[in-house]
Amino acid sequence: MKNSLAIGFLLISCAGMQERLALKECTFAFVSVRAYDFRFDRMKLDFTVKAKNPNQVDAVLDRLTYTLYINELDVFSGTTGEQVKIPTGKSTNFATTVTLTYAKIGPALIEAIKLEKAQYELKAQVHIATVLGDLTYPVTITFPDK
């Protein structure tokens, strides 16, 4: 009986890990942003990211941490709050909220005006939860072509 339980637990654990490792082949793209809750020194942004899963197995995103850079200047950082399941061969949109302080966006805007360009990059880290702690690896969240 104990062996059956151990084998069952191991199979479930392996399936769960396979779903998490499937993230390696997933792609992430920026979809939209909505600004609200404007304050004297900050505002909130809800932005939507699309995760596309080309795998033959569902993918599970435990957590995603990210930083937006404009002309290589850090503008904001955040993290997703909930686990996201991305079905086999499909795309799933998920939303996340950040607080943008004007003190951080100001230097990026000044730099963009001086350079007469604004290059955006959204770097992220995928977090895979394991019994030994989180494993992470970098991903880039792409922006749509203009």
* Integer Cα distance of 51 and 80 in angstroms: 13
Which pLDDT belongs to residue 44? 94
**How confident is the model over 70-123, as pLDDT tens digits?**
999 999 999 987 889 999 999 999 999 999 999 988 898 898 899 998 888 889
Which pLDDT belongs to residue 12? 39
Nearest CA among 48, 60, 51, 49 for reference residue 22: 60
**How confident is the model over 20-30, as pLDDT tens digits?**
778 888 999 99
Query: In this structure, which long-range contacts are made by residues 78-85, counting pairs with CB atoms below 8 Å and at least 24 apart in sequence?
Result: 84/51, 84/60, 85/19, 85/58, 85/59, 85/60, 85/61
Which pLDDT belongs to residue 135? 83
With 0-12 CB in 10 A as exposed, 13-18 as middle and 19+ as buried, what is 145? exposed
Domain assignments of the chain as residue spans, ordered by start = 2-142
pTM for the model stands at 0.78
Q: Is residue 97 within 8 Å of residue 45, measured between CB atoms?
A: yes
* Integer Cα distance of 91 and 57 in angstroms: 13
Answer whether CATH 3.40.50.720 is correct for domain 2-142: no
Compute the Cα dihedral for 122, 87, 83, 137 and give only its sign.
negative
